[in-house]
């Protein structure tokens, strides 16, 4: 089952150091200068849209980004670049992760001929750990959840002198997560010749999956900065068992969710929202929606087994979460009020982001069908 919160956003960009980092970001120019850069493809799925009763569905497919099978390399590479511009002597980068972020840190460190230390929660799968190790990262499994892995990485960094590169922020640790958010702006800006021309976007509704909310916060800032009150409707999607943003909206402040932290959406299996993304989310999000794992599975299958002549999209559990939110919204009677608030109709153009491919091949094969192991 799903749950939701309808927000009343101010549509104003909060002031502060993070929003200044976002305003002055030159991430697209940095990424475009990399010899292996390619814009992530935009996929149109008209037959899926017709079958679901909406006008159009677009998917920005990040599974091909930098060969990492996920979007996280955008933020991490930009942040590491900014760090080494001022501190080239840094030798080891450290982070905590549910999988994709840690792999991106290890990859960025290797590109810069640096070392990396990556802390993971106890239930991180072997495939996700192996992917980090293939990029040169040294992995430490923590007896606990994501928040506890973050605490362990921070403590070790202070004790040993490693440079922490975390994508969630807290008081006193804000600049690096802000640079990561600034790096994420690249893939929104890539859409400016297609779905995001001025003066108004060509989409009505955008689903943004969230863990700590850094990527979602960057997206909300982008739409507020580019369109103001003319922006599309923005919906946050989280796992029901780790819905920190939903819990925080209800509390009116950042809180950790009450849940089991047991979800197949590993990249979204996080606790308290990032400090620097929270105000942005409050000011520009129309609603937040929590979903069960079954919707993620349905979405993965819908993308892998396309309707009609639609292209196949290989989406992992977290990557398919945006479509999973749309499926829940179109399926559950208890979400009718939310559907009406978002003005979702047969004419609506919907944008989704596939933030990861088949990052856990065994689980992917179990979900989409035996013998299919993704890419």
Catalytic positions: 72, 98
301 beta partners: none
Q: How many residues does the chain have?
A: 375
Task: Give start and end residues of each alpha helix (H) in 196-287.
Answer: 214-227, 244-251, 275-284
| C-alpha closest to that of 270 among 281, 259, 285 | 259
Range list of H helices, the chain: 17-23, 27-32, 46-52, 73-86, 100-111, 126-134, 146-160, 175-189, 214-227, 244-251, 275-284, 293-304, 321-331, 336-341, 361-368
Question: In angstroms, rounded to a whole number, what is the distance separating the alpha carbons of residues 312 and 354?
Answer: 12
Cis? peptide before 199, omega within 30° of 0 = yes
């Amino acid at each position: 089952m799903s749950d939701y919160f309808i927000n009343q956003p101010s549509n104003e960009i909060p002031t502060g150091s993070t929003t200044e980092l976002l305003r002055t970001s030159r991430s697209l120019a940095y990424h475009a200068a990399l010899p292996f850069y390619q814009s992530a493809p935009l996929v149109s799925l008209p037959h899926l849209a017709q079958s679901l009763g909406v006008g159009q569905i677009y998917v920005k497919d990040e599974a091909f980004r930098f060969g990492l099978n996920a979007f996280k390399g955008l933020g991490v590479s930009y942040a590491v670049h900014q760090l080494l511009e001022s501190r080239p002597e840094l030798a080891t980068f450290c982070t905590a992760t549910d999988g994709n972020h840690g792999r991106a840190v290890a990859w960025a460190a290797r590109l810069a001929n640096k070392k990396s230390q990556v802390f993971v929660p106890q239930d991180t799968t072997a495939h996700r750990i192996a992917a980090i190790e293939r990029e040169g990262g040294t992995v430490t499994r923590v007896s606990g959840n994501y928040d506890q892995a973050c605490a362990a990485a921070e403590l070790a960094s202070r004790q040993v002198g490693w440079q922490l590169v975390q994508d969630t922020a807290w008081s006193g640790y804000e600049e690096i997560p802000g640079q990561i958010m600034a790096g994420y702006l690249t893939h929104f800006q890539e859409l400016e010749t297609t779905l995001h021309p001025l003066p108004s976007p060509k989409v009505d509704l955008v689903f943004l999956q969230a863990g700590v909310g850094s990527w979602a916060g960057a997206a909300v800032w982008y739409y507020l900065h580019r369109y103001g009150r003319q922006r599309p409707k923005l919906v946050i999607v989280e796992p029901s068992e780790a819905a920190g943003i939903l819990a925080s909206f209800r509390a009116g402040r950042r809180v950790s969710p009450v849940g089991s932290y047991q979800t197949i959406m590993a990249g979204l299996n996080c606790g308290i929202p990032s400090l620097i993304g929270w105000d942005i989310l409050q000011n520009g999000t129309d609603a937040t929606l929590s979903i069960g794992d079954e919707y993620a599975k349905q979405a993965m299958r819908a993308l892998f087994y396309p309707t009609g002549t639609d292209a196949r999209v290989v989406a992992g559990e977290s990557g398919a979460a945006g479509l999973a939110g749309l499926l829940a919204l179109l399926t559950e009677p208890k979400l009718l009020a939310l559907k009406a608030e978002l003005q979702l109709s047969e004419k609506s153009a919907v944008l989704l982001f596939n933030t990861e491919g088949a990052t856990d091949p065994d689980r992917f094969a179990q979900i989409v069908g035996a013998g299919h192991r993704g890419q």
